């Protein structure tokens, strides 16, 4: 019976199965969709004039779950089931599929038929698309790059037999002309990234999700909610402008943050975690930040960008700790951290096993060795000093506590390092270098680093919250906890996040 279509047809839920597939264009589990829908006002489900748009349909789960709520919410206004179904599917639900395949899947999820003009569709349309459209779009190439999304022409200038990944919603100047109507709610899970043509994958690929959010805002819906990677918190790779606009947008009223993406997308590894948010056009104010970690959730209403902070704090329990750490007005440790390639030497440098005249020792991966002194093109004055280094890339997954950083080590005078390592400090004496290492070893130091380091990269910006200390002495967590007046609860939280660091064998010595 049509009246039981949404309870009988989808048991077991094929969309829950699809949600476990690992892909950059990940399918959204129905339970997460409903958590996002719960952010919207209840009265929307009782309003027959509200229009919904999913601009990046994959499985059709967003429109399907919205349909369920509207079918129940409009029951009193439209008692006759078929008329209610026809009204909802024709007048209220709209989608733009990201591929031809997902358009068929989305129509099957919503209309119970790939072809809504066929006899099996629960609401009949005049054409085979219904309100879920797919239009193959071409990239606009300018200087070998797409002017809309930045895709490389060498990779995506394809024939019709292959997907172009030129998503319609972000490849049009006047997006309002797609459906020629205003939408009250825009909701979805957009594609996250696109290979940039330079070998970029994962966190190094070109982000796309920010363009979907920006395009959706142009339509000025009453509400916007999307689930996206959390990497935008710290910017980078084309996200700096988007980051600033989001963090200072007081229309974002709810942000649900998941440090571990597996809590949202089982079996899918997304570096830095994911989040979903509610943007409310007509209401401004502080944001309710719901932080989820290991199945535990905390809530706090606060600005996304706290006054005098340089970045967003994703853990609610950490806000008071950062405020105490910054109260002394000490310089940021990030100030003197070197940029990438501290000596101008790339990761793939060829090293020799033996030393000869004109060669210097180099700490590199996969092995240490010797290189010609002449290839040092930057910071040559550092060569005769002590350098405190750590791995430039260090990633962890799973449950806390984390190490956060690779083990620090000292590069002695007369030696250099490749891009594999980042120079945290340059010192005149070995004692100063060892004192700095004692500070890096503390949970306090690495905890403050974790708050910004939501990708494996340990570039200088991740140390922004770390205050500089007096490095004429060694440091311990006990001294730092006392200095900054941390409470037992704050100390316990740090210890739950950060595990002790054993420096008996350094990263560099262990290679």
Yes or no: say if 168 and 136 are a contact pair by the CB < 8 Å rule.
no
105, part of any domain: yes
**Mean pLDDT across the stretch 293-298?**
89
pLDDT of residue 21: 43
Same domain, 6 and 53: yes
What is the secondary structure of 307-331 as a DSSP string?
A: TT-SS----GGGHHHHHHHHTT-PP
| 316: pLDDT strictly greater than 70 | yes
pLDDT of residue 25: 66
| 192: pLDDT strictly greater than 60 | yes
3-state secondary structure 235-297: CCCCCHHHHHHHHCCCCEEEEEEECCHHHCCCCCCCCCCEEEEEEECCCCCCEEEEEEECCEE
Yes or no: say if 59 and 92 are a contact pair by the CB < 8 Å rule.
no
Closest CA to 272 of 404, 455, 449: 455
pLDDT band at 148; cut points 50, 70, 90 = very high
Tokens of 183: 């939408």
| 203: pLDDT strictly greater than 50 | no
Residues whose CB falls within 8 Å of the CB of residue 176, separated by 6 or more in sequence, listed in order: 182, 218, 219
Number of domains in the chain: 3
- Surface-to-core class of residue 369, CB atoms within 10 Å of its CB (0-12 exposed, 13-18 middle, 19+ buried): middle
Same domain, 109 and 150: no
Please give the DSSP secondary-structure letter assigned to residue 378: S
Same domain, 48 and 146: no
pLDDT of residue 396: 85
252, part of any domain: no
Assign residue 424 the CATH number of its domain.
3.90.220
| 204: pLDDT strictly greater than 60 | no
CA distances from 305 to 162, 217, 290, 385, 459 (A): 42, 20, 15, 39, 21
303, part of any domain: no
| 16: pLDDT strictly greater than 80 | no
127, part of any domain: yes
Closest CA to 65 of 46, 47, 52, 81: 52
Same domain, 155 and 34: no
Alpha carbon distance 214, 103 (integer Å): 23
pLDDT of residue 341: 92
Task: Give the angle 447-453-455 at the CA atoms, nearest 5°.
Answer: 140
Q: Where in the sequence is the domain holding 415, given as residue range(s)?
A: 325-497
What are residue 393's phi and psi, to 5 degrees?
-130, 125
Alpha carbon distance 97, 99 (integer Å): 6
Same domain, 76 and 121: yes
pLDDT band at 229; cut points 50, 70, 90 = very high
157, part of any domain: yes
- Which residue reads 């996002």 in tokens? 36
Same domain, 151 and 36: no
pLDDT band at 4; cut points 50, 70, 90 = low
Residues whose CB falls within 8 Å of the CB of residue 22, separated by 6 or more in sequence, listed in order: 267, 268, 269
Same domain, 1 and 122: yes
| 444: pLDDT strictly greater than 50 | yes
Same domain, 28 and 119: yes
Same domain, 11 and 153: no
Same domain, 335 and 361: yes
**Mean pLDDT across the stretch 428-435?**
98
> pLDDT (tens digit, 9 = 90+) per residue, 236-276?
778 999 999 999 999 999 999 999 999 999 888 888 899 99
For the beta sheet containing 386-391, the strands, ordered from the edge strand earlier in sequence to the opposite edge, are: 409-411, 386-391, 421-427
pLDDT of residue 241: 94
Residues whose CB falls within 8 Å of the CB of residue 278, separated by 6 or more in sequence, listed in order: 39, 40, 223, 224, 225, 252, 253, 254
| 310: pLDDT strictly greater than 90 | no
Q: Are strands 206-207 and 193-194 parallel, antiparallel or unpaired?
A: antiparallel
Assign residue 96 the CATH number of its domain.
3.40.50.150
**Mean pLDDT across the stretch 409-425?**
97
Alpha carbon distance 319, 323 (integer Å): 6
Same domain, 107 and 160: no
Sign of CA dihedral 262, 264, 269, 275: negative
pLDDT of residue 237: 76
> pLDDT (tens digit, 9 = 90+) per residue, 366-397?
999 999 999 999 999 999 999 999 999 998 87
Same domain, 148 and 35: no
- Compare 234 and 142 and report the one with higher pLDDT: 142
- Compare 304 and 162 and report the one with higher pLDDT: 304
**Mean pLDDT across the stretch 109-130?**
95
pLDDT of residue 478: 98
pLDDT band at 205; cut points 50, 70, 90 = confident
Alpha carbon distance 362, 351 (integer Å): 8
Task: Give the angle 139-194-202 at the CA atoms, nearest 5°.
Answer: 170
260, part of any domain: no
pLDDT of residue 230: 94
**Mean pLDDT across the stretch 307-328?**
94
Range in 13-27, 190-204, 437-451 the model is least confident about: 13-27
pLDDT band at 356; cut points 50, 70, 90 = confident
> pLDDT (tens digit, 9 = 90+) per residue, 446-473?
999 999 998 888 899 999 999 999 999 9
433, part of any domain: yes
Alpha carbon distance 44, 184 (integer Å): 9
3-state secondary structure 477-497: HHHHHHHCCCCHHHHHHHHHH
Length of the chain: 511
Tokens of 260: 């571990």
3-state helix, strand, coil in the chain (%, to 5): 30, 20, 50
Closest CA to 213 of 202, 205, 204, 221: 221
Mean pLDDT score across all residues of the chain = 90
pLDDT of residue 19: 54
Yes or no: say if 223 and 278 are a contact pair by the CB < 8 Å rule.
yes
Angle in degrees, 0-180, between the axes of helices 240-247 and 209-218, rounded to the nearest 10: 50
0.95 exceeded by the pTM? no
C-beta contacts of 327-331 below 8 A and 24+ residues apart = 327/484, 328/467, 328/484, 330/467, 330/468, 330/469, 331/467, 331/468
72, part of any domain: yes
What is the secondary structure of 191-243 as a DSSP string?
A: --EE--SSS--GGGSEE-HHHHHHHHHHT--SEEEEEEEGGGGG--TT-HHHH
**Mean pLDDT across the stretch 175-203?**
80
């Amino acid at each position: 019976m049509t009246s039981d279509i949404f309870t009988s047809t989808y048991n077991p839920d094929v969309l829950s199965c699809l949600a476990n597939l690992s892909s950059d264009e990940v399918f959204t589990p129905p339970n997460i969709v409903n958590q996002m829908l719960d952010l919207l006002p209840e009265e929307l489900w009782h309003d027959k004039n509200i229009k919904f748009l999913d601009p990046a349909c994959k499985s059709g789960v967003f429109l399907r779950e919205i349909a369920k709520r509207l079918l129940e919410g409009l029951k009193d206004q439209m008692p006759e089931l078929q008329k209610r179904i026809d009204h909802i599917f024709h007048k209220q639900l709209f989608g733009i599929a990201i591929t031809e395949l997902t358009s068929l899947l989305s129509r099957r999820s919503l209309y119970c038929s790939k072809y809504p003009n066929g006899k099996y569709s629960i609401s009949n349309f005049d054409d085979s698309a219904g309100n879920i459209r797919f239009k193959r779009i071409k990239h606009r190439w300018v200087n070998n790059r797409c002017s809309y999304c930045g895709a490389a022409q060498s990779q995506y200038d394809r024939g019709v037999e292959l997907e172009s990944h030129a998503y319609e919603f972000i490849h049009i100047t006047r997006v309002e002309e797609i459906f020629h109507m205003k939408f009250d709610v825009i909701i979805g899970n957009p594609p996250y990234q696109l290979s940039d043509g330079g070998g970029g994958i994962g966190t190094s690929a070109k982000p796309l999700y920010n363009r979907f959010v920006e395009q959706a805002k142009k339509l000025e819906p009453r509400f916007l909610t999307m689930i996206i990677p959390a990497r935008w918190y710290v910017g980078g790779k084309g996200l700096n402008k988007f980051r600033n606009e989001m963090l200072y947008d007081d229309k974002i009223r709810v942000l649900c943050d998941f440090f571990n993406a597996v809590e949202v997308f089982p079996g899918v590894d997304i570096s830095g975690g994911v989040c979903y948010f509610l943007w409310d056009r007509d209401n401004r104010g502080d944001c309710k930040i719901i932080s989820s970690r290991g199945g535990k959730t905390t809530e706090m209403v606060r600005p996304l960008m706290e006054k005098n902070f340089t970045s967003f704090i994703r853990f609610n329990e950490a806000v008071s700790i950062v405020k105490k750490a910054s109260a002394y007005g000490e310089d940021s440790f990030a100030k003197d951290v070197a940029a990438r390639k501290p000596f101008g030497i790339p990761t793939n440098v060829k090293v020799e096993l033996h030393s000869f005249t004109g060669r210097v020792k180099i700490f590199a991966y996969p092995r240490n060795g010797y290189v010609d002194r002449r290839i040092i093109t930057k910071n040559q004055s550092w060569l005769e000093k002590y350098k405190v280094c750590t791995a430039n890339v260090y990633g962890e997954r799973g449950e806390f506590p984390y190490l956060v950083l690779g083990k620090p080590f000292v590069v002695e005078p007369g030696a250099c390092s490749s891009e594999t390592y980042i120079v945290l400090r340059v010192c005149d004496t070995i004692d100063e270098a060892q004192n700095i290492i004692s500070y890096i070893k503390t949970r306090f130091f690495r905890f403050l680093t974790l708050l910004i380091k939501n990708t494996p990269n340990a570039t200088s910006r991740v140390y922004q919250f770390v205050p500089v200390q007096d490095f004429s002495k060694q440091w311990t967590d006990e001294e730092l906890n006392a200095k900054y007046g941390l409470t037992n609860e704050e100390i316990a939280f740090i210890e739950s996040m950060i595990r002790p660091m054993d420096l008996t064998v350094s990263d560099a010595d262990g290679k």
